[in-house]
Structures are given as C-alpha cells and as structure tokens.
Chains A and B, each alone.
Chain A
C-alpha cells in the first residue's frame, strides 16, 4: 500500500518572477531592479512603483542581512512540514533594502538586528529555497 504524502507547496512562477526562481536554482539570490531609476524591488512584479517603468533587470544580492522579525512555527498547518516542526520563519532586512522570508537555522538567540547570511537549500524537483543562518 502506498500512503500518499501531500507535497509541499511549490511556486508557480510568473513571467516577472521566473528569473528569481531560476537564480535560486543556480544558487544565487537575484533581485529585480528598475532599469530606469535603479530602485530594487521585491517581490518581483511588473511595474516600478517609483517611476512606473516596466523595464527591469536583475542584481545579485550580497547575501548580507539582519533579522527584522520572526515567528517559530509549532502548529502543523501542512502535513509536509510536520517533521520539521518547530522551525523559525525569519523576516530579514537585506543589504539591498528589501526583505526576505526564509527559515533560519542555527541561531541560539533571536533578537532584532541579528546579523545573518543567506544560503541555499535544495527542496526537490529542481526547486532551491533560500535559507538564513547567523553571520560569522
């Protein structure tokens, strides 16, 4: 007998977000940048809200971040994440001025401003997710 395990939610990339997911698959965190005014924006979307340009290119993030806030997930909202509980979901300020949500591993103490580094973890079927760890 095969017991079906519901799989984790996978992203359905849009034309705007495909380079973001492709970058992660290559082990790089890339951020969308307005090709006209230079403003970095996240999450990927069609239009720059500062100058209303549709033109965008991509810039690789430095990987430096700090902890903006967090939660520790205890309740199994999805069976595919049950084995990982409890896990820390961190909201991180990136050096580029936008934020990222990722699981944070290996932090003994959580506090606002904690220096973090961005890493990458394969999540199966070609999907790579960002992961955060304490810097240094």
Chain B
C-alpha cells in the first residue's frame, strides 16, 4: 500500500499576520485559524476527530482544542516536534492516520507569538534538538540559527562560487510575492541593492537574508480522500509525502557534507510516491528561514545540481512567470514566520486556483517543504484532483 492519494487537504485558515497580535495569546490565535480552516472545509468543529500539533514547543496541547472546540470524540492526537519541518511532518502524520482509518478529519493548528513573546536567540535553547550545540557551541558564542547556518552558506560560496547577490534574488522575489498577497507583514518593495546594503547579521547572511519574527496562526484540515469529495472546496490530494534527516542531525559542525540537507534523502521518496519529477512541478513553497536554505533545498529537490543553485535563482527565475514560481505568498522572509504552515496553506490555495494576484496560471501539481533544526527535511507533493 502507498500513502500517496489516500488523503487530501480540505480546509485552510489563517489569522492576520502581524508583529503584534494585540494581546491575543497563542491558543486564541490557533483557535481563530482553526475555526477558519474547519469552516473552509465545510465541516463543523464536532466533526474533527484527529489533531496533530506541529513544532511541539508545548505552548498548547490537543486537549485545549477538545475543550474549546467542543470536540466530542477525538480519536487520534500527536505532535511532530521537528521545528520548521514540523508543519509538513504533521501533514504526513495526519495523512497516515486517516489512511489507516484511525480518524477522518485531522486539524493541524500552528500559532505563535514569535515577535511579542520570546525571541529566537533565547527560544531555541529550550528546544531539545539544540541540546548538543547548546553544550558545545553556545559557550564559544554560536548562539542563534543564523550563526549555526551561516557556515553552510559560506562553504557553498567557497566551493561553488555562490554569491550574496544570488541570495538577494531570493529575498527580492519573495518580497514581490508578499506585496501581492494582502496578508503579509513586509510590503515595501525591495531591490538587490537594498539587500546588499542591509546590515550583516552572521556573515554571509545579511538582515534581508533572515526570516521574520511573527505573531499569528495558520491551520489546515487533512481528511480521508474519499471524504474530501463531499466537502466545499476543490479537492487537493496529497500524492507524495516524505521525511528525511541529514547525517549528523544534531550538529551541522560534524556533518560530513554540510551542503546537503535531510531533504536530499526525502525528496526522491516523495517524487517516487507521487509518480512525478521536478519537471512536473508548477509551483513550490519552500521553507525559507534564510535565503540560503531555499537555494540549498532547490538543489536537494533536484531542480538543479549541487552547486548550481546560485545560477538557478538568477534573473527572476523564482517569480510568477519564471522557471519555477517559489513562495508565492511571501514566505517566512516577507509574509510571516508561521514555521511553514503558511506554506502549506499557500500551496493548497494555488492548486485550488484561489491565490488571487499571485496565482500561478494552470497550477495543477506543486510541492511544499519544511526545514527543521538542524537540517531535518520534510516534503509534501499535492495535486488538484
């Protein structure tokens, strides 16, 4: 049996994305997005019988949703604590649960007060996946994701000639998409020169290579495929799903090849499950905690060879009408840092033909990825059906 085609994303919901949710807590934000996703699917809250909580930072638990939504019979709940890979891991987990018959409609809520709550440099050291670097690397001054990931980008530059201006292409295109979205935090136009003039954070990563700190929530509903046809929206099937972990997953320092992520292992499995190749992908929502992580994933996904990502992204290739439209909502870089659940929402929107001014013409097959600390990869391939 294959998991491909057994489940569908039937509902999507988002709050407003801001830098200050105005006193709304994480649970309130998640409930807002959840109600929107459940209504979008044409379901009643009482019909939700599964919950998968991505990220696993422990701010809220499945019981909170049973209590607030009045769910009478929750049959399945778990967490997918893979950091930024957690949202897509939750999609895979929910698909497996409905395919196995454990439940029919799974809610995946993700919300945070990443801007008004604790900030990244403090937050990550509460995450168990940072335990090793916390002991051995934080004492010498390596404290935050930008500092852990920058050596991957630097080595890529030294080995392959990748440039900061090529990273800028990713930031600029992503901003153009955010401007079209209508629910994005960053809406001022950006040029490559703006990127080059932005202050250095962790060389070679500049401020405009880094994602946002955001308040808000996003949620989706994953349903058994044969239930999806009865619901409100055009059906978007999950055709390929996979998770992959890099060598030396606890520390980038000790990774034999630090230019290769866990996604390099996951992507071939997902493409095989879906029966498609990178050439079939009409739109890609790629986890973008930093510009370089997008470039590296494009290689690991097979859109180009290792070391060719810099040339691949040049000349607006990732824009609407380009070779591969990427992060059509503005991503974590310019829309909001919803740890990739906003990427899942956007892919569904594209495949339904509901992406408004950012709609990719005739989008039928797309993919969404997750990237979690310190290199875990997840991927979901979806198709309009």
A residues in contact (CB < 8 Å) with B = 8-14, 17, 42-43, 68-75, 77-78, 81, 84, 86-87, 89, 91, 98-103, 111-112, 123, 127, 129-130
Contacts and interface: CB of A to CB of B under 8 A. Distances in A.
A89 B147 contact: yes
A124 B318 CA distance: 49
Interface in B125-141: 125, 132, 134-141
Contact of B135 (A11, A78, A100, A103): A11
A13 B136 CA distance: 9
A8 to B, nearest CB: 7
A43 B150 contact: no
A91 B140 contact: no
A91 B151 contact: yes
Contacts of A81: 141, 143
Contacts, number: 103
20 contacts: A9-B125, A9-B134, A17-B136, A43-B254, A69-B152, A69-B155, A71-B203, A74-B200, A74-B202, A75-B144, A84-B141, A89-B140, A89-B151, A91-B151, A99-B254, A101-B136, A102-B140, A112-B155, A112-B158, A129-B140
Contacts of A123: 139
Contact of A71 (B125, B138, B151, B258): B151
A8 B138 CA distance: 9
B341 to A, nearest CB: 25
Interface size range of chain B in the complex = 35 or more
B307 to A, nearest CB: 14
Contacts of A98: 254
4 closest cross-chain pairs (CB), A and B: A71-B150, A72-B203, A77-B121, A69-B151
A102 B138 CA distance: 10
A14 B131 CA distance: 11
Contacts of A127: 139
A72 B205 CA distance: 9
B132 A74 contact: no
A60 to B, nearest CB: 18
Contacts of A111: 158
Contact of A9 (B139, B199, B202, B205): B139
Interface in B103-132: 120-121, 125, 132
B142 interface: yes
